[in-house]
Structure 1
Amino acid sequence: MTPLGRPLFIGHEIYRHSSYGGWHPLRIPRVSTVMDLSRALGWLPRAAYVTSPRAKPAAIAAFHTPDYIAALQEAERTGEVSAAVRARHNIGTHANPVFPEMYRRPATSAGAALLAGELLAGGGVVYAPACGTHHALADAASGFCYFNDPVLAILSLRRQGLRRIAYVDIDAHHGDGVEIAFRDEPEVLVLSVHEENRWPRTGALGDRGAGNVWNLPVPRGFHDDEMALARDAVILPAVQAHRPEAIVLQCGADGVTEDPQSRMELSNNAHWAVAAALMPLAPRMLGLGGGGYNPWSVGRLWTGIWGTLSGQEVPERLPAQAEAVLRALRWEGRTRVTVPPESWVTTLRDPLRGGSIRSEVRDRISALRSRLTAEA
């Protein structure tokens, strides 16, 4: 089991004061909000909290190239990149900017991923909300992601002697970097549910690779009842058939209605239900964060994931100390400051957002289930 036989939360204070810049979607606080809100709810005692180490370059090189790692270190040191480095490694761009902690911050998340694999060697549950950067490539940044910590977590689990890993990704964006890393590895199940025609515009229904890759692209407006069908008809059967020794769940929060980076219509209940349903299917469970660009919705959703993984009961109304955490958040744009509705600061659980299941959703789920059944 994990130390003390209890679920563990890996965090770090670096996320409290670090951002990608005042104009970037990742200018908002996320992990620090989850830490503060979990503590305010009494869900994060000191014994459950583990401070993430910063991964060393040699450890990060389990997936990423030494040249790329060195380029990030040098960009952080000098605060700039050359045109050649920008072209090769895709850093110093609008999406992947140079910022003061551009090596230390992702190296800390990478350290959490690597440590999680070690902590789970004997079984248990670990939550690392700073992880989930599923777009990063071996030699380049991509989609706000500098190091691919889901890949590093899976590699860490495999170094503990585990072979059969299930990676489930419910971010609004396709987990392309993880798919590329394991598309020819049949012992690693990679399953992504994501919005179609959303950047990076990969992960089509028929995309497979030579390994154990499955994609379910869904239309805009995808809601709780449609996710429940996808969960029960595709996600759970695929994971059960794989018989994993560990499950890694990427819980990107950008699929909820309030998020500006997708057009999905989920509530945070959908993510919590997927996490709860997956937990009994393997002796090891690793929860990760991912996308999420509304500070209130991502903080509430990810705190609820920790509550799900650690067996907490969600209160109908937040206690005053937890409410104060959410009221203190700011989401400043170039021309306005968002004022949150009361439900964003007084509750953790969203209202359910369901509806009729559209034929196009049903048909895609049916097609993918048929393929899964045929290969079982």
Structure 2
Amino acid sequence: MTGARFITSRIYRGSVYGARHPLSIQRVPAVTDLAVTLGWLGPGRMLTSPRAKPAALTGFHTSRYVAALMAAEAAQHVSPEVRDRHGLGTLSNPVFAEMYRRPATAVGGGMLAAELVADGGVVHNPGGGQHHAMPDRAEGFCFLNEPVLTIRRLLAMGLKRVAYVDIDAHHGDGVEAAFPGSERVRTISVHEARRWPFTGALGDNAGGAAFNLPVGRGFNDTEFALVLEEVILPAVADFRPDAIFLQCGADALAEDPLARLALSNRAHVATALALRALAPRLIVSGGGGYNPWSTARCWAAVWGALAGEVAPDRLPDAAEAVLRALHWHRKGIPDETLLTTLADAPREGPVRDDLRSDVAVLKARLRAVL
């Protein structure tokens, strides 16, 4: 297995969806800068993402949609007809300067990641993870579906099975919808119940290809550890994948404004490390994450763990300066621990009976598959 690689791009630096959009924050630049100041991106570790060509995007998206997205960026305007048909120019998916080039770069990063793990290895592509986009429509801040296109690239390379694990607070509906009934792709999603897009119910299995676990508000580290050990890891191991794609959305963290879960970033690190042992190839993407400090810290901590680095108890001055320089349109000053540390304190708690019951349902289903 080759060493861990990190993919980034200058296009993320300064690019925002709008002044008050949840993605007005600088996430990939902050993760990159944290990793650089910590000395975790030495020679050969950091690569620049290419931009996926339009023809590559039609591996999932319709040519009409790709053309509409490119035209919207060029004109910085969409007609009502395009808005209605393709979901462009909405509050969630607004017109902005890099609305085509930025997601196409995220996809290019995913496809580069697939090439890099051809002979084994680990790649972190924090700019990726846009899991809501549909073939002909933008949805949920996602203009293109990077995980789907990356997984399809892995399969086209000759891999037989790919496991997709999604720990974003929002259900990975676009990825699940792309592989219904598949014997080559298994999707496993743990997400907040009764949260947009309101899909991914416990009984939804996408023709046998998906395992879904909606969890309640306040979902804590203790509960996540149970889910990881009794659902996620067995569902992946049973599938015997050639590669694993981890969508590592940071909106399940306690500080995130768009969800009501209560995880620490230790859950994300534990997931990445545990999955790394189950297949020769691991691709880790970003995803949700709308608090600039908790998101940057989470993805940097995940990268450090994958790269075999040890996070300091207190960040050095240069890394702390990266976090203190972040801006957010929401009022308030972050807790000092979000500015001076990388690893969260554990956020443990009781395991609720309804979660135990739902875990038992999925375990029974896994036994039936076996």
Aligned positions, number: 370
Tell me the distance in 2 between the aligned counterparts of 1:125 and 1:181. Answer: 24
Structure 2: which 5+ runs fail to align? Answer: none
Tell me the distance in 2 between the aligned counterparts of 1:37 and 1:292. Answer: 16
Mapping 1:359-374, distance limit 5 Å: 359-374=353-368
Tell me whether 1:220 sits opposite 2:217 in the alignment. Answer: yes
Corresponding residue number in structure 1 for 2:267: 270
Corresponding residue number in structure 2 for 1:54: 51
SS in 1 for 2:202: coil
Corresponding residue number in structure 2 for 1:128: 125
Mapping 1:61-210, distance limit 5 Å: 61-210=58-207
Letter in 2 for 1:364: D
State the Cα distance separating 1:167 from its structure 2 match.
Answer: 0.3
> Which 10-residue stretch deviates more, 280-289 or 179-188?
179-188
2:20–2:329 contact (8 Å) kept in structure 1: no
> Which 10-residue stretch deviates more, 364-373 or 192-201?
364-373
1:120–1:157 contact (8 Å) kept in structure 2: no
1:218-259, Cα deviation, whole Å (9 max, x unpaired): 011100000000000000001110000000000000011100
Letter in 1 for 2:237: Q
Corresponding residue number in structure 2 for 1:347: 341
Tell me the distance in 2 between the aligned counterparts of 1:183 and 1:131. Answer: 22
Corresponding residue number in structure 1 for 2:327: 330
Tell me whether 1:243 sits opposite 2:237 in the alignment. Answer: no
- Among 248, 253, 256, the alignment partner of 1:259 is 256
Tell me the distance in 1 between the aligned counterparts of 2:45 and 2:111. Answer: 18
Letter in 2 for 1:367: V
State the Cα distance separating 1:374 from its structure 2 match.
Answer: 1.1
Letter in 1 for 2:340: T
1:133-166, Cα deviation, whole Å (9 max, x unpaired): 0000011000000000000110111111101100
Tell me the distance in 1 between the aligned counterparts of 2:148 and 2:208. Answer: 15
State the Cα distance separating 1:342 from its structure 2 match.
Answer: 1.0
SS in 2 for 1:285: strand
Structure 1: which 5+ runs fail to align? Answer: none
Letter in 1 for 2:357: D
Corresponding residue number in structure 2 for 1:15: 12
State the Cα distance separating 1:211 from its structure 2 match.
Answer: 3.8
Tell me the distance in 1 between the aligned counterparts of 2:116 and 2:208. Answer: 27
SS in 1 for 2:44: helix
> Which 10-residue stretch deviates more, 324-333 or 89-98?
324-333
Tell me the distance in 2 between the aligned counterparts of 1:279 and 1:233. Answer: 17
1:172-213, Cα deviation, whole Å (9 max, x unpaired): 000000000012212101000000000000000000122421
State the Cα distance separating 1:341 from its structure 2 match.
Answer: 1.6
Letter in 2 for 1:157: L
**For the aligned residues, what is the CA RMSD?**
0.8
Corresponding residue number in structure 2 for 1:317: 314
Tell me whether 1:284 sits opposite 2:281 in the alignment. Answer: yes
Tell me the distance in 2 between the aligned counterparts of 1:46 and 1:136. Answer: 34
Letter in 2 for 1:368: L
SS in 1 for 2:282: strand
SS in 1 for 2:284: strand
TM-score by length of 1: 0.97
Tell me the distance in 2 between the aligned counterparts of 1:278 and 1:113. Answer: 18
Letter in 1 for 2:173: D
Moved over 2 A (4+): none
Tell me the distance in 2 between the aligned counterparts of 1:181 and 1:311. Answer: 34
